[in-house]
Amino acid sequence: MRHPLIKSAIRVDHLTKRFGDVTAVESVSFTVPEGSVTGLLGGNGAGKTTTISMLLGLLLPTEGTVEVLGVDMVRNRHAVLPRMNFSSPYVELPHRLTVRENLTVYAHLYGLPGVRRRVEELAEHLDLAKFLERPAGSLSAGQKTRVALAKALLNRPDLLLLDEPTASLDPDTADWIRTYLERYRQETGATILLASHNMLEVERLCDAVLVMRQGRIVDQGTPAALLARYGRGTLEEVFLDIARDRRAEAAEAAQ
C-alpha cells in the first residue's frame, strides 16, 4: 500500500491506446512516487514508447487517465510541460544546426533566462565543449546521446523521462552518465522514469520496475523483489522469463 505522505509524480489509471483495430496499450495502471527512479521495461512492441508518449501529452489516450505532477495531461498538459522533459537517442535534433544552436533554440522554447550560461554549464557537465560548434548531424551515435540528454536537462525538469539514456555509449561514458543522473536526482529531488534494455543499468538506478508485455503491465516491484519472486540472479534473467512468458515455470523451479 502506498504511504499517504508520499506524493505521486505520475498516476496512470486504466490507460488504453488503440490505433484502429490495434491495441498498443491496454488498461495500464501504475504510480511513480516523487523523487524516485522507476524503470519501464519490455521488449520491442511492448507498449513502452506509446505509454511515454501519452505521459508527455503527445498522444491522447483512447481510455483512462494520466496525471503528471498533479496535472491531468489530457485537459491541461501545458500547465506542467515546463516542469518535465524527455530524452531519446532515437529522436534526431535538426542536423544542420550546431549543437550550441540546437540547445539555444530549445532553451528559448522553454523560456529559460540566462540561455548562454545554461548551455555552457551543460556543455561542461556533459563534456560537450569539444563539439559544441559542430553540426548535430555530424556527431557519432554516442555524442548524439549526450546532446539529447543535455537538451532534456536544459529546464532542470522535476520529471525526466528517459528512453535508453546510455545507448551507443562506451562503458566508461555510460557509467559517467549514470553517476550524473544519480547526482541530479539527489541534488534536485527530481523523478525519473527510465525505459531501458540494459538490465545492469536498471538494477543500479531504479527503486522500482514496471514490466510491460503486449501492451499490459505484467509485473512490478523493486529489483530485489522481482529477483526473489522469479528465483533469478539477475534482472536480465527475469526479463527473459517475462518476455517469453515463463513466469509459472520459473516460480515452480524456485520452490
Q: What is the pLDDT of residues 50-73, one digit of tens each?
A: 999 999 999 999 999 999 999 999
What is the grid cell recorded at 180? 550524473
Sort 43 into a burial class: Cβ within 10 Å, 0-12 / 13-18 / 19+.
Answer: middle
What is the grid cell recorded at 13? 489509471
pLDDT band at residue 4 using 50, 70 and 90 as cut-offs: very low
Predicted pLDDT at 2? 39
Predicted pLDDT at 243? 84
Q: What residue type is assigned to position 67 of the chain?
A: E
What b/e string do you get for 159-175 counting C-beta neighbours within 10 Å, with b at 16 or more? bbbbbbbbbebeeebbe
Q: Which long-range contacts (CB under 8 A, 24 or more apart) does 229-235 make?
A: 230/254, 234/199, 234/203, 235/199, 235/200, 235/202, 235/203, 235/209
Q: Cα(29)–Cα(64) distance, rounded to whole angstroms?
A: 9
Predicted pLDDT at 3? 41
On whether the 8-221 domain is CATH 3.40.50.300, my answer is yes
Residue intervals in the chain for CATH 3.40.50.300: 8-221
Q: What residue type is assigned to position 25 of the chain?
A: V
How many CA atoms lie within 13 Å of 119's alpha carbon, on the beta-carbon side? 20
Q: Using CA of residue 80, residue 85, residue 90, residue 92, what is the dihedral sign?
A: positive
Query: What DSSP assignment string belongs to 142-179?
Result: HHHHHHHHHHHHTT--SEEEEESTTTT--HHHHHHHHH
Of 140, 158, 149, 186, which Cα lies nearest the Cα of 79? Answer: 158
Predicted pLDDT at 6? 54
- Percentage above 90 pLDDT, the chain: 81
